[in-house]
A and B are shown apart, each in its own frame.
Chain A
């Protein structure tokens, strides 16, 4: 096998992983910039999204309708969490409270899944089996499909944010909270929308990852960390930043283990984050 093939396989895999990270980071960055909170249980929403698909598929639903349903359920859950837990109340320190609450939520959701589904590793139907030949290299079909769905989700999100009234209001609220109040924008509604969209994206990422890899109650921790790294890397609240940060991390995970070693790959993000923080503290594409 030529090294071109290796590069190709490694790159496609890296991009597929990268897109899953992008989906996570987008949700986190929306929530962070609109609500001003760190939702540390976002990884558990990812995990719940995957388990919801597992459950629905077990009930006889097809994989794709199940993914769509799971996204919807997680969006509703996001709204419930916003209203029930994260909505600011007077006399509460928002940032600190959100960290405490969401850390607790992480434990609760993980335990709930352990109780309901057990500790057993579960799996979802495959997105696709086998591979396609690209320039003579076998590239797994499921990765390509995962990339496709993620790109589609991002395009839809972008159109929503840029072209709809609610989307513009969300960006506005992220950029200037008080300014948005003075335009009659209801911050609670923006928070709800951010949680709904963020959770739906996490559910999609979880479902795709579940179909590519497998499901277990602790699966949310890693993508959550990747998501945070990406936000720091790409810049808070920046969608292009999340995209670039996610792809950088994905490519590190896809390519470095092949050409160097997995150990180097696990150090990679740390090095990149430190470099970025040293030379561009606001992130690659972050605003001041």
Chain B
């Protein structure tokens, strides 16, 4: 009977898919960045760019050369949205630099050229892309990767070829794939996600002195180290973590997690870095949670407002993302440039971190006086540890990380803090990372 055969095929498929999804879970792949939303981007006022980007150096001197930067991001698959946001930001950076006549490094002036490759969200894809960029395009620098597996694959290729690699993410600061002394040519112009912890805790201590009990919602992707740090920071402030729930990557329904966290009667629900903090807020509030909700992630406050909708739920929510409703002039310029170019697509706040990345690397090259030798560039970067050594869209920053990762190859810069009350976003300000 035909239907019987179909049924068999069906059964085999089901089991196959289930097994596959299980093995995918086990791989613990992840992303951190804000999963973007329907944000109607703030209405743009300015027309096209009139002034040059932050990196302008004035009139060209010496020879005009090309700085070739290869990028590797997922351009297809579920993470494509991040690949899109990042590469768009990089294109806007290149446009800013090139329209201003290029950037002066040493005696030469460079035009910036990006070559974008698709990692397809996989280590194999990233590895192929890296080989192409290094061997065929002969790029001076490789930037990219969302997943830890992609980073490892890229570094393997770039290190062998002696090319500098700037990782574009760190889901798990301190993970084996992150910067470390055994990867001599890998740097990270991207701040640790968990630097927001002490900032949020201090703000809560000041604003909600009664709130002591924290329930933690943790994506199950190797955040143990981050949780440990947070625990110490919490204890240091006389607060305590009363419940902790891990959820698998790919979770869409957060009601079960929030049911369990809420049962511990916390004053604070703390959603650790993930793109789904808004869904978690929605679920927590629907289950009757009335306390403080911390979104320890880059998810824009505006995204919460648009997706959670209910003003009663959008109260006492603390966000650590770039607040696109209160942009600094620099961020505003980037947003305007984005809107002018892609008027139908809402701005994604990840573009702000992304824009900083090549800019930071160019500043390192300027300091070194050459784009050349990767080892020299790493050494130069490791020396830029004084506050203000690096300019970013978030304000002045510096290079650090030796205390955590053994090497000074990580960007530190101010972090934005906002609070949502009754559906209205309050921008609290840019906060310096706290050393502890």
Contacts and interface: CB of A to CB of B under 8 A. Distances in A.
A37 interface: yes
B345 to A, nearest CB: 6
B37 A237 contact: no
A140 B286 contact: yes
B45 interface: no
Nearest to A283: B7
A169 interface: no
B313 A129 contact: yes
A189 B263 CA distance: 53
B421 interface: no
Contacts of B21: 225, 266
B239 interface: no
Interface string A241-273: 000000000000111111001110111011001
Contacts of A22: none
A38 interface: yes
B255 A254 contact: yes
A6 B263 contact: yes
Interface string A129-161: 111000000101111000000000000000000
B14 A229 contact: yes
B6 A95 contact: yes
A95 B78 contact: no
B236 interface: no
A129 B309 CA distance: 9
B253 A17 contact: yes
Please classify how large the interface on chain B is, using the bins under 10, 10 to 19, 20 to 34, 35 or more. Answer: 35 or more
A253, A255, A258: most-surrounded residue (chain B CB, <10 A): A258
Nearest to A3: B263
Contacts of A231: 7, 10
Interface residues of A, number: 63
A120 B81 CA distance: 7
Given A131-B287, A266-B25, A267-B22, A95 B260 contact: no
Q: Which of A10, A94, A253, A263 counts the most chain B CB atoms within 10 A?
A: A263
Contacts of A253: 253, 256
A65 interface: no
A164 interface: no
Contacts of B78: 218
B19 A123 contact: no
B9 A143 contact: no
Q: Is the interface of A mostly helix, strand, loop or mixed?
A: helix
Given A119-B81, A120-B38, A94 B15 contact: no
A13 B253 contact: yes
Contact of A123 (B38, B220, B260, B265): B38
Interface of B: 2-3, 5-7, 9-11, 13-15, 17-19, 21-22, 25, 35-39, 78, 80-81, 84, 220, 246-248, 250-253, 255-257, 259-260, 262-263, 265, 278-279, 283, 285-288, 306-307, 309-310, 312-313, 344-346, 348
29 contacts: A9-B255, A10-B256, A10-B259, A13-B255, A32-B7, A32-B10, A36-B2, A36-B6, A38-B6, A118-B81, A118-B344, A118-B345, A120-B39, A123-B37, A123-B309, A126-B309, A129-B312, A129-B313, A138-B287, A140-B286, A212-B253, A214-B307, A228-B17, A236-B7, A253-B256, A255-B256, A262-B251, A263-B248, A270-B22
Lowest 5 A-B CB distances belong to which pairs? A138-B288, A140-B286, A119-B81, A257-B256, A129-B310
Given A9-B259, A214-B252, 16 more contacts: A1-B263, A5-B263, A36-B3, A37-B6, A118-B345, A121-B37, A125-B309, A126-B309, A130-B285, A131-B286, A214-B37, A214-B307, A225-B18, A236-B3, A257-B256, A263-B246
